Chains A and B, each alone.
Chain A
Amino acid sequence: MNLQSQTFKGGIHPPHFKKSTENLTIERAKTPDMVYIPMQQHIGAPCEAIVKVGDSVKIGQKVGEAKAFVSAPIHSSVSGKVKKIQKLDTPTGNATTIIIESDGKNEIHESVVSKGKIDDLTKEEIVEVIKEAGITGLGGAGFPTHVKLSPPPEKKVDTVILNGAECEPYLTADHRLMVEQPEMIIKGLKAIMKAVEVTKGFIGIEDNKPDAIKVMMEASKNEKNIQVVPVKTKYPQGDEKRLINSITKREVPNGGLPMDVGVVVNNVGTAHAIGNAFETGMPLVERVATITGSGINNPRNLIIKIGTPFKDIIDECGGFKDNPGKIIMGGPMMGIAQHSIEVPTIKGTSGILVLDKEEAKIPDPDPCIRCAKCVDICPVNLQPLFISKLSLKRMYEEAGSYNALSCIECGSCSFVCPSKRPLLQSIRVAKREILSNRKKS
């Protein structure tokens, strides 16, 4: 592999906006008085609450049991008493939520013990540990990790890639984690590699984080199977199929999964959580997130207990500057706008981004001038202008014939559009309509 940064075709260069937090050491957020732990924090089936109102719980104690294969158990992030179990809003929808009042003692549950050396465990045992630790993808999508690590026997996996691209503007959580705790990430990577029985591990990091590249190279210099690969700083480099293409030059088939080309991709944050689950036995009860944006007083990188309301965290970061315009869970390109700051932090909360009123304004669209910028940059070679036009005319089937369903929703087209047209927004509508029409027929 040559020394030049690897990359893929298409993509955009949004401003980074990372300056305000990229050099800030990760700090631990205060333990909240009350945590709100939703039973649905991942892609897949929701969990069932296995505690009752009035029960005492400790940190790391399982409170939600996964009943399906594509699901992941959920644990308490504080010690204290279960006050209520009810439906509440979460950053991604609405779910049964266990409300636990913290007793402030932060006592750790007796089940939390080191799982021993990875070398001494079988691959089945490793996957079981990861599953029981409730680990899901921490990059944002929240896919249960043990499912990714259990490919069907006919899929030959030969490569593991850790995603340290962090291509979303503003976010620096993964960056700081790599700089501060590289050993734990390497440990997690080795567990993943053993779980899928491969001998080749890559860590892809965007080249705008030279310090992270250096630290990770240093930490992995004695691991001859692990290679740090600088990748070009370009959005959406951190999309797993783009990253696979950048590093291995393989193309995941349209509609397929990374395992179809023999690759498993995990976020560096996920690897860190896995490393931690083996070393200390602590399941996924907290995560690092970047709290930032033009509308926040003191941007920070914080370790946040799952279930902490956004409001507590925003207060800890000095509160809002003026009136906030938009509050986003995740980054500005793919994050989800929130309607309230009462929602809790979940496993997929990679950041809380607050935009001021000016930045949050939704621009008025001008007519499409067919400049073709959206066609030039689409990482999956779509023609967003045509799909969007058809979607706005409610011609969804025709939009489908322009491969609307292949859209990865990275938002690059909407970003570059000089006419500020709602390209991705209308493509999403087309996708939803096509899928629901298919179900009907």
Chain B
Amino acid sequence: MENMLYGSSSPHIRSKETISKIMIDVLIALLPATLASIYYFRFNAIKLIGISILTAVLTEWALQKFMNKPITINDFSAVVTGLLLAFNIPASAPWWIPVIGSAFAIAIVKQAFGGLGNNFINPALAARAMLLASWPVLMTNWVTPGADAVSTATPLAILKGEAEGTLPSITNVLMGNIGGSLGETSALLLIIGGLYLLYRGVITWKIPVSYIGTVMIMTLLLDGGFTNMTYHTLSGGLMLGAFYMATDYSSSPVTSKGQIIFGVGCGILTAIIRIYGGYPEGVSYSILLMNVASPLIDKYTSPKVFGEVKKVA
């Protein structure tokens, strides 16, 4: 056996890239926002993020163990899902909210459909939608950052006139010193992480740019000009959604054209929900809706093969 040669068809070398390296890059990108979240929301943030990640990883491990499948928790994808779910819940949420959310994301949305790469919608977002539908009050009980958390409203709710209060300054919105979900508050840090992902080649510019660009144009034209556009762009999970959730590999299109259509679609839906819909926020539902359209988009944006001759009709 010692002198046996490997025989296989080409190529004989592979890149060093692996799934776990990609997931670790995503975690690195989310680190600044995670730290900011802990800085603003203190122990609540540590508790909820920890519980969420732990539940996600344990659920994945238990299910795979139970189904006699290879255990894949060391690819870190469950950690990413857990963290993203935590980013989508308010700091005031009770401990069992992330438990239910993470377990749902992993068990129902991810593993029930075949595990990594087979979920047709983003697990963290689907779980968020489920939590929001089931516990609407708990899931929208926003608090101010700082030690003595008092109830507050998100900038978008104020903008929409659904809540009382004065709009926070753009600087505070950018830094994340506002009310909102755990991880969606600091647009600046989310953008920095997003740029890191672009630099590392984990995501391409197509979905984030087309998504954010569409929201900016739509809100500029339809919702009262430049100031409102700035709030729409920088607050309310748009950065989190555009860089980290809409770019989820398994629930977004694979073709370049498809990814741009997907991003524009997310942008249009987000703007419509925010301006004309019942919710001040629209990122989650827009992405989920576009997720289910992805296979169709892929089907109709199949690229032209190099050198393909136009068929004469």
Against B, the Cβ 8 Å flags (1 = close, 0 = not) of A389-421 are 000000000000011001001011011111110
Asked if A32 is at the interface of the complex by the 8 Å CB criterion, the answer is: no
**Which residues in window 34-71 of A have CB below 8 A to B?**
none
Against B, the Cβ 8 Å flags (1 = close, 0 = not) of A1-30 are 000000001001010000000000000000
Pick the contact of A253 from B19, B204, B255, B307 — CB < 8 Å? B307
Q: Is the CB of A339 within 8 A of B5?
A: yes
Listed residue (A253, A340, A382, A418) with the most chain B CB atoms within 10 angstroms of its CB: A418
Q: Is the CB of B249 within 8 A of A371?
A: yes
Q: Is the CB of B307 within 8 A of A241?
A: yes
Asked if B166 is at the interface of the complex by the 8 Å CB criterion, the answer is: no
Interface size on B, residues (CB 8 A): 42
Against B, the Cβ 8 Å flags (1 = close, 0 = not) of A276-290 are 000000000000000
Cα-based distance from A414 to B308 in the complex (angstroms): 23
Q: How far is the CB of A336 from chain B (nearest CB, A)?
A: 7
Interface size class of A (residues with CB under 8 A): 35 or more
Asked if A254 is at the interface of the complex by the 8 Å CB criterion, the answer is: yes
With A363-B14, A367-B118, A383-B255 already in contact, the answer to whether A251 and B22 are too (CB < 8 A) is no
Pick the contact of B307 from A251, A340, A366, A412 — CB < 8 Å? A251
Cα-based distance from A409 to B11 in the complex (angstroms): 9
Cα-based distance from A141 to B14 in the complex (angstroms): 22
Cα-based distance from A305 to B21 in the complex (angstroms): 46
When distances are taken between beta carbons in the complex, the residues of chain B under 8 Å from A254 are 305-309
Pick the contact of B12 from A252, A332, A339 — CB < 8 Å? A332
With A367-B115, A367-B116 already in contact, the answer to whether A380 and B306 are too (CB < 8 A) is yes
Q: Is the CB of A383 within 8 A of B117?
A: no
Q: Is the CB of A335 within 8 A of B21?
A: no
Pick the contact of B116 from A339, A361, A369 — CB < 8 Å? A369
Q: Is the CB of A424 within 8 A of B7?
A: no
The stretch among A114-122, A144-152, A213-221, A318-326 that forms the contact with chain B is A318-326
Q: How far is the CB of B52 from chain A (nearest CB, A)?
A: 21
Listed residue (B114, B115, B250, B254) with the most chain A CB atoms within 10 angstroms of its CB: B254
Cα-based distance from A430 to B253 in the complex (angstroms): 24
Q: Is the CB of A385 within 8 A of B254?
A: yes
When distances are taken between beta carbons in the complex, the residues of chain A under 8 Å from B303 are 375, 381, 383
With A355-B12, A415-B14 already in contact, the answer to whether A371 and B305 are too (CB < 8 A) is no
When distances are taken between beta carbons in the complex, the residues of chain A under 8 Å from B302 are 383, 402
Cα-based distance from A169 to B253 in the complex (angstroms): 32
Asked if B171 is at the interface of the complex by the 8 Å CB criterion, the answer is: no
Cα-based distance from A423 to B18 in the complex (angstroms): 15
Further pairs besides A366-B75, A370-B254: 6, Cβ < 8 Å: A338-B5, A339-B5, A366-B19, A380-B306, A411-B11, A418-B22
Residues of chain B whose beta carbon lies under 8 Å from any beta carbon of chain A: 2-3, 5-15, 17-19, 21-22, 72, 75, 114-118, 204, 249-250, 252-256, 259, 302-309
Q: List 29 A-B contacts (CB under 8 A).
A: A12-B15, A241-B306, A252-B307, A253-B307, A325-B5, A325-B6, A326-B7, A332-B10, A332-B12, A333-B11, A334-B10, A338-B7, A340-B5, A355-B6, A363-B14, A368-B117, A370-B117, A372-B249, A375-B254, A380-B305, A406-B305, A412-B11, A414-B11, A414-B14, A416-B17, A417-B15, A418-B15, A420-B14, A425-B8
Top 5 nearest A-B pairs by Cβ distance?
A411-B11, A372-B254, A380-B306, A418-B17, A369-B117
